[in-house]
Amino acid sequence: MKDIPAIRLRAMEPEDLDMLYSLENDASLWHLGMTNEPYSRYVLHDYISQSSSDIYIDKQVRMMVENERGETVGMVDLTNFNPKNLRAEVGIVIVANERQKGYGQATLVALHRYALSTLHLHQVYAVVPSDHTSCLRLFQTCGYRQTALLPTWLYDGHDYHDAVLMQHLL
């Protein structure tokens, strides 16, 4: 792997509300995940305050990504946690003006380390739109392999799109 920037994963703080609000309400990202409606500040404030940051309690964990200057450049989460099979789904978003700088790769490397050494997960996976080449390349660079094509898996409000299941054994 090429040199990647130094990052730090940290728990969400109340100060992250504006960034969380901005990312969760960015309609251009909705086709990549499960969201298809905006979230209020109130709901997101409650989400931050009620999150235990314990994957066994919440069945998910979300962390903010900070660069070497302490600036928040994105967030990453593990959702759909399955404690029996020790696996979880990865979701990652880097803010638009910080993309293509290596933060995605650095985030996945740090997340893998955390998932293995702290959470003791066996595998992580991602569901990626089949035409999202930069995202597919990121996951492949970080050791994920395509294990399934999911026809008409994602709906963007107008059309259905294929997705790819990407898996990484830790």
Give the per-residue pLDDT at 32: 65
Which tens digit of pLDDT belongs to each residue from 91-105? 999 999 999 999 999
Give the per-residue pLDDT at 146: 97
| Residue 55 three-state SS | helix
Which string of b and e fits 41-73 if b means at least 16 CB within 10 Å? eeebeebbeeeeeebeebebbbbbbbbeeeebb
User: Distance (Å, rounded) from C-alpha 2 to C-alpha 16?
Assistant: 30
Name 94's bridge partners: 74
Q: What is the mean pLDDT of residues 6-33?
A: 81
Which string of b and e fits 123-134 if b means at least 16 CB within 10 Å? bbbbbbbbebee
pTM, to two decimals: 0.89
Give the per-residue pLDDT at 58: 87
Name 92's bridge partners: 76
CA 53 to chain centre: 15
Give the per-residue pLDDT at 21: 79
